[in-house]
């Protein structure tokens, strides 16, 4: 039986099942080798460098990129200004959309998440918001079906009233008066 040459990681096909791809856990981290040592460790046989053993994923790449930008004083200031402006734009759009039916609050929270990349106060506020939204969701989902239906109905009535008031006072369109006039004439 011929012996297969090892792949670039120093493993043969029988070691990994798929050549060139280390097995990964559900969260994307490399699994330790069968002998208890992590793959790519300091052994000279593997031929892997510390650079090749780095974690992969978009969060890691984003964090590394932001760290490289922050390493330069000019980059640090430019990043802070960019994050401040981008977060302000997203929060402003979200606040403008709050009275309308749709994801206004979700957009505000997204803008807060953008600010949280660079500002500690936004990170704390985002954590506070996240905790309270999770607590509200847990509370609402543990209620009976009629209570959840009542909560949903109150939410829809609130959105309808806010939409009616915003159309009436910002655009001058009174939907209720037009509906009553339509019903009276037909």
3-class secondary structure per residue, 25-55: CCCCCECCCCCCCCCCCCCCCCCCCCCCCCC
pLDDT of amino acid 101: 67
Which residue ranges make up each domain of the chain?
Answer: 71-185
DSSP helix/strand/coil, 24? strand
State the Cα angle at 114 between 56 and 62, rounded to 5°.
20
Distances, alpha carbon 22 to alpha carbons 43, 46, 52, 57, 99, in Å? 17, 13, 12, 15, 50
pLDDT of amino acid 128: 94
pLDDT of amino acid 155: 84
pLDDT of amino acid 48: 55
At residue 53, what are phi and psi to the nearest 5 degrees?
-90, 5
Burial status of residue 87 (CB atoms within 10 A of its CB: 0-12, 13-18, 19 or more): buried
Total-model pTM: 0.51
pLDDT of amino acid 18: 46
pLDDT of amino acid 56: 76
pLDDT of amino acid 82: 94
pLDDT of amino acid 137: 86
Query: Are 83 and 119 spatial neighbours (Cβ–Cβ below 8 Å)?
Result: yes
pLDDT of amino acid 172: 85
For every one of its 186 residues, what pLDDT tens digit does the chain have, with 9 covering 90 and above?
Answer: 556 555 554 544 444 444 444 444 555 555 555 444 444 444 445 555 555 556 778 888 888 988 999 898 898 999 999 999 999 999 999 888 876 767 888 899 999 999 999 999 999 999 998 899 899 889 988 999 999 999 889 888 887 887 788 788 888 888 888 888 888 887
Q: Which two tokens stand for residue 55?
A: 């974690």
């Amino acid at each position: 039986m011929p012996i297969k040459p090892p792949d670039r990681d120093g493993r043969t096909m029988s070691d990994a099942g798929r050549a060139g791809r280390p097995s990964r856990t559900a969260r994307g981290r490399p699994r330790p080798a069968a002998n208890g040592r992590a793959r790519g460790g300091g052994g000279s046989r593997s031929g892997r460098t510390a650079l090749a053993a780095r974690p992969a994923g978009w969060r890691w790449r984003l964090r590394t990129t932001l760290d490289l930008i922050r390493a330069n004083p000019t980059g640090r200031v430019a990043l802070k200004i960019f994050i401040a402006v981008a977060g302000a734009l997203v929060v402003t759009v979200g606040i403008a959309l709050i009275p309308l039916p749709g994801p206004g609050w979700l957009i505000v929270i997204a803008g807060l998440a953008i600010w949280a990349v660079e500002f500690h106060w936004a990170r704390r506020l985002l954590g506070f918001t996240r905790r309270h939204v999770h607590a509200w969701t847990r509370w609402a989902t543990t209620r009976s079906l009629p209570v959840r239906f009542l909560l949903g109905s109150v939410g829809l009535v609130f959105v309808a009233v806010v939409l009616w008031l915003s159309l009436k006072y910002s655009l001058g369109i009174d939907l209720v008066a037009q509906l009553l006039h339509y019903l009276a004439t037909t």
